[in-house]
Structure 1
Amino acid sequence: MRDDIIDSRQLLAFKTLAETGSFTLAAKQLNLTQSAVSHSIKALEDDLGCALINRLGRKIHLTEAGDIFLAAAERIHQRMHRVRSELEALSRWGAGRLRIGAGTTACQYILPTVIREFRQTFPDCQLSISPNDAKELMDELRGNEIDLAFTLAPLSDDDIECQTVFEDTLQFAVAPSHPWANRKVAPGSEIDEQTFVTYSKRSLTFESIRRHFRNEGHTFSKVIELGSMEAIKELVKIGIGVGIIAPWVTQKEAHEGSIFLLSPSRKALKRSWGVCYVKGRRLSLMEETFIGLCESACDCLEQ
């Protein structure tokens, strides 16, 4: 079975000839010479290996193969029109799609505000959100599964561009009954005795925490890992361990006094957040707007 593609110009010439029933009329409609139309039909018949028309003087009649091919040609022509309409729709203001990837924490605490503002500007945009950890999001960007990833900035990826949105500082979170509750800085001599409740070991957050602890001379060996900030906060509240959380995630709990925050050391434990995309790709207006809205939303976070 042949797998080469039928010439679209020959297909259009045949469809027009079948509809007009005349080489003269078909040539006039296509703005071609009769010879050019005749040559296209002959080349198409040679390509298909069968006769599509019978010439009866100045009139033409379709063969059985011609009837079958005309039905297929009409379907193809309609589909091509739909594709053109869909592509033209992309140029209209606010149309098209935007595929966003983000960490679960960003999805819960930051993106709702961003999405609400984005929808007001681009109500016709097909917006989708893919929650995942930073490493997986980088793979989704490379595989063209998402357009932008709002996440912790990757350590080093030569093929990924990351536009920094904001920086935050991780702190220890403890229950009101914990001995550290009224301290501003954790006592270094007691840190290795604690059990820490942290985000998944596969995450960039965990890697940055472990690197910070090692630089400070701590073992960071007693760890409970969870995939949800809400779960981490609940364990902290009941005194199971010391959480390591950004202040903007615990605003409600800090205000009501169910969680106390303190610095893990004299040296701040900082993270950098950004919107990532494949390097060298030109961003659309919708993508630029989304990044700007992320920056605005993060400006409002309490640090």
Structure 2
Amino acid sequence: MLLEYIEQAFHYIALGEKKVAEMRQLLAGEVRIGAGDTLCKYILLPSLESFHDEHPAIKIKVTNRTTPESIALLKEGSIDFALVNLPVTDPQLEVDKVIEVHDCFFAGPRFEHLRNQKLSLDELLCLPLILLEEGSNSRQYLNSFMQQKGYRLEPEIELGSLDLLVEFARIGLGVSCLTREFVDHEGSTLFEIDLIEPIPPREIGIVKLKNVPLSEAAGAFIHSFFAM
């Protein structure tokens, strides 16, 4: 009689133990990642491909948001970690640096006369500038650099993605600030403008909440990410 009442509970316990064992062996589970379009395309995708090949049973959820939005999602528990543009200063977050990148200005054939010339910041700011929209960490980094040099940025065009910045520069609408490591130079008509005072490099990193343990799947993904 007792067994009739508790038999179903035994089945649930056995099923739960099986699921926990599968997650520890990475036979089940989910990785929830926040990343902007550009970082997802150029940094995250190669890691996602190799991780999925090795652990096909793990579900992968990627939420495309800007760095500030990804951090907000992280704090509310909607994602496990985020791939973001640094610097990020927040006492609630743990930051691991991934790669160093360089913000540079690129132009198309319409500005061919500037190729192989060294430009001052004064000369650069006389050109029609195409920049990312305000609010992104990379734009804030550029703004901060220019302010330190005593300049204020007044772009002709502001856009929301790197791919659009590339296309607008390619057809000659202006000079775009792009991340050198994310520009495909092969077959491209774009060239980098040589600045007398180049923009200092910045970093891309992974952020997660301090003192909050990651799931087995999320921890394994980050381990494989840094092992690449």
TM-score normalised to structure 2 length: 0.87
CA distance in 2, matches of 1:204, 1:117: 28
Aligned with residue 258 of structure 1, among 168, 173, 189: 189
**1:149/1:275 contact within 8 Å kept:** yes
Return the structure number with greater relative CO, CA threshold 8 A, min gap 6.
2
**1:173/1:243 contact within 8 Å kept:** yes
* Secondary structure of residue in 2 paired with 1:106: helix
TM-aligned CA deviation for residue 132 of structure 1: 0.7
User: Structure 1: 5+ residue runs without aligned partners?
Assistant: 1-14, 20-69, 298-303
Deviates more, 1:230-239 or 1:258-267: 258-267
CA distance in 1, matches of 2:89, 2:222: 21
Name the residue aligned to 1:147: 80
Over 3 Å counting, the alpha-carbon distance change for 1:287 and 1:76 in structure 2 is closer
**2:26/2:217 contact within 8 Å kept:** no
Over 3 Å counting, the alpha-carbon distance change for 1:97 and 1:217 in structure 2 is same
How many residues get paired?
228
Aligned with residue 237 of structure 1, among 170, 175, 190: 170
Where does 1:94-243 land on structure 2 (aligned, <5 Å)?
A: 94-178=27-111, 181-183=114-116, 185-243=118-176
Where does 1:62-73 land on structure 2 (aligned, <5 Å)?
A: none
TM-score normalised to structure 1 length: 0.67
CA distance in 2, matches of 1:112, 1:128: 12
Letter in 1 for 2:204: W
* Secondary structure of residue in 1 paired with 2:61: strand
User: Structure 2: 5+ residue runs without aligned partners?
Assistant: none
TM-aligned CA deviation for residue 295 of structure 1: 4.2
**1:98/1:127 contact within 8 Å kept:** yes
Supply the RMSD in Å over aligned alpha carbons.
2.6
1:90-122 CA-to-partner distances (Å, cap 9, x unmatched) read: 222443211111111011222221111111222
Q: Percent identity?
A: 22
Aligned with residue 207 of structure 2, among 254, 265, 276: 276
Larger gyration radius, structure 1 or structure 2: 1
Letter in 2 for 1:256: G
Letter in 1 for 2:200: L
Letter in 1 for 2:207: C
CA distance in 2, matches of 1:236, 1:97: 39
1:237-293 CA-to-partner distances (Å, cap 9, x unmatched) read: 111111001112212xx3324101124442433221111100123445644443354
1:177-203 CA-to-partner distances (Å, cap 9, x unmatched) read: 215541354333322322221222111
1:201-259 CA-to-partner distances (Å, cap 9, x unmatched) read: 111011001111112222211242211111111100111111001112212xx332410
Over 3 Å counting, the alpha-carbon distance change for 1:196 and 1:76 in structure 2 is farther
